[in-house]
Amino acid sequence: MELFLDSAVIAEVEEISSGGVLGGVTTNPTLIRRSGGDFKKTIQRIAELCPGPISAEVNSMDCDGMVSEARELKELLPDNVIIKIPCTAEGLAATTILSKEGIDVNMTLVFSVSQALLSAKAGACYVSPFIGRIDDKGEDGMKLIAEIMQAWNNDSSITCKVLAASIRSLAHVELSARLGAHAATIPTTIFHQMIKHELTDVGIEKFLADWDAVESEGRA
């Protein structure tokens, strides 16, 4: 499973990409707003830091507007930038046009198998089911990932990758991987949790103490 960072904060992209595990970055208008940076300059910088796909979202809600925004972004920004489009009827029509032009689309705000299937058939390169927002409603977001993967397994013509989004916990990441999601976009705090384990810390402490003992006994 590819590991993407769900952030538009340059310092976070720098930090996480330095570990060498970052497969891509997703942004959205909320994340851009939170970052405090200029939209295009921020995407440009992120695209320089991470070679994988960088999702930049359109803000138009009609097909023509989405298509022209997407073309403009592709013109101005590096090649690894892909276009994030909301899963609406207009978004589907725009995705059909853009995919025929070879412009990669990440279909976002997906909450059902039907929406995921339509996105794939329209030619989206990624489909982003929002796990956490489903959990927030008291339902089971992971169930949607399982159902989409089941539908994908039944249709070998689908090439669209499932990108688990709206991740809120380590369990979301691990279950997405176990269910066969192709990618997960992960907030920085969860990336930090992924590397931590209390037994790793305890183990390091013990090794360091034993190494000190070896040194003090003149055996280093």
Q: Return residues touching ligand E4P (CB under 6 A).
A: 6, 26, 28, 31, 108, 128, 130, 132-133, 165-166, 185
3-state secondary structure (DSSP) of residue 107? strand
Sole residue written with tokens 């039907």 = 114
Which H helix or E strand runs over 191? helix 188-195
Helix axes 113-122, 141-153, angle to 10 degrees: 50
Among residues 147, 153, 155, the alpha carbon closest in space to that of 129 is found at: 147
Q: Which of 40, 84, 137, 143 is catalytic?
A: 84
What count of Cα atoms within 13 Å lies in the side-chain half-sphere of residue 11? 3
Kindly tell me which of 136 and 212 has the beta carbon lying closer to ligand E4P: 136
Beta carbon of residue 209, minimum distance to ligand E4P (angstroms, whole number) = 41
Among residues 188, 151, 190, 198, the alpha carbon closest in space to that of 173 is found at: 190
Kindly tell me which of 74 and 172 has the beta carbon lying closer to ligand E4P: 172
Kindly tell me which of 29 and 203 has the beta carbon lying closer to ligand E4P: 29
Beta carbon of residue 87, minimum distance to ligand E4P (angstroms, whole number) = 12
4, β-bridge pairs? 24, 185
Kindly tell me which of 35 and 166 has the beta carbon lying closer to ligand E4P: 166
Distance CA 220, CA 212 (A): 9
Beta carbon of residue 212, minimum distance to ligand E4P (angstroms, whole number) = 44
Beta carbon of residue 120, minimum distance to ligand E4P (angstroms, whole number) = 17
- Judge whether 100 counts as a catalytic residue: no
DSSP string over 39-84? HHHHHHHHHHH--S-EEEE----SHHHHHHHHHHHHHHS-TTEEEE
Beta carbon of residue 215, minimum distance to ligand E4P (angstroms, whole number) = 48
* Catalytic positions, written as ranges: 84
